[in-house]
Structure 1
């Protein structure tokens, strides 16, 4: 091999990557970046969905805590074939639970929202208002208030009344997103709340909470 040939070979080796090598490296880099971006987007969606589930479950616990407070202050759970007249109306919503408290009626109903600011179906309470100290102000006029929105449009049927022995379904509510069962002997009420949502085109998520509480 002549000196000229050796010099030419060294110059070729020191010239760096060729065009084909550079294109392949760029394509590989773009592929890796795409995989990383997709993974980050997926993690972001999962984080948002998890946060939404936690938030909705917190709202459900608050709603059930309110119903439990009404139950514990009630003298009787209405167990009639037909619901009692609701003073503030139901606007076509289905009555699920009615409580008697010192001559006043507290009604929980499920159905269409009273205005467009609410998501999906809503749970509405009609009854005496709570004061600033968190206690019912007896003798006040009944008020209608949305307790929870975003209830499942097609909830799963509730079976077994939450395991409450001797309980009977109230007002055919097992197919509703707010369901209730009553044990007439003990005045214990089992309840179920179910919400559903889909964030960012993801799969439908369902959040459900249950509670058993007694009147009086």
Structure 2
């Protein structure tokens, strides 16, 4: 029997070309490779977008914590069981009080609930209280302002904003938590906290 070498088969294949079945198999394998590469690129872009969104939210949360810390420096935290808790110089319109601070000019109240207008997404975190002047100090005016601090707040994984005692005299922890939702990213929580040196009436 005449033996046919691999080289002879390859040369014959070069002359005759590939069969239709072989071409279909080759195209299918190539398509799978391209699909895998495209899927990897999409995953990388999705993760990058999620990281960017988390960074933006964290930056906004830090600004809110700056404001809470400043408010606390002008007053004392009101206990949840106190009759003064939740009293507000602004209409709550169904929003839930989550933090109250007794300042010299009145009670500063942080609330969570429905947005006051359609320009905001989802529930919002709002602050009702005196404004800060150009000198960076809290106004002693009795004219309170109700301002949105964060939107798209759901707080399903915990309270949006709270203070916790640390066991150390005059040291407490401010915690701000948001649950973010996206059709492409699913849901995830972004939390920022900070230790503050203040005497709180917890």
What TM-score results when the alignment is normalised by the length of structure 2? Answer: 0.78
Of 114, 117, 129, the residue aligned with 1:115 is 117
Q: For the Cα contact (< 8 Å) 1:72–1:215, is it kept in 2?
A: no
User: How big is the alpha-carbon RMSD for the aligned residues of Structure 1 and Structure 2?
Assistant: 2.9
Q: Which residue of 2 aligns with 1:6?
A: none
Query: How do residues 174-189 of structure 1 correspond to structure 2 at under 5 angstroms?
Result: 176-181=159-164, 188-189=171-172
Deviation of the 1:99 alpha carbon: 2.0
The 1:65–1:12 alpha-carbon spacing in structure 2 relative to 1, beyond 3 Å, is: closer
In structure 1, the residue matched to 2:104 is 102
| Cα distance in structure 1, aligned partners of 2:99 and 2:63 | 17
The alignment partner of 2:93 has SS state of coil
Name the CA distance, whole Å, in 2 between partners of 1:215 and 1:120: 34
* Structure-1 residue corresponding to 2:46: 45
Query: Is the counterpart of residue 198 in structure 1 residue 181 in structure 2?
Result: yes
Q: Deviations over 1:121-151 (max 9, x none)?
A: 2211111112345433332611000112222
Name the CA distance, whole Å, in 1 between partners of 2:175 and 2:91. Answer: 23
Q: Residue 205 of structure 1: CA displacement?
A: 0.7
Matched, 1:66 2:49: no
**Structure 1 SS opposite 2:119:** coil
> Which sections of structure 2, spanning at least 5 residues, go unmatched?
3-10
- Deviation per CA, 1:78-126, whole angstroms, max 9, x where unpaired? 3352226311122222222222333332111222222222222221111
Matches within 5 A, 1:1-216: 13-74=14-75, 76-79=76-79, 81-82=82-83, 83=85, 85-139=87-141, 141-156=143-158, 176-181=159-164, 188-213=171-196, 214=198
* Unaligned stretches of 5+ residues in structure 1: 2-9, 157-175
Task: Kindly indicate whether the alpha-carbon contact (under 8 Å) linking 1:73 and 1:215 is maintained by their aligned counterparts in 2.
Answer: no
Moved over 6 A (4+): none
CA distance in 2, matches of 1:16, 1:48: 47
Cα gap change, 1:12 to 1:118, in 2 (>3 Å): closer
What is the alpha-carbon distance in structure 1 between the residues aligned to residue 30 and residue 13 of structure 2?
Answer: 25
- CA deviation map 1:141-172 (0-9, x unaligned): 1100011222234223xxxxxxxxxxxxxxxx
Secondary structure of residue in 2 paired with 1:97: strand
The change in CA–CA distance for 1:15 and 1:124 in structure 2 (over 3 A counts) is: same
Distance 1:192 1:12 in 2: 71
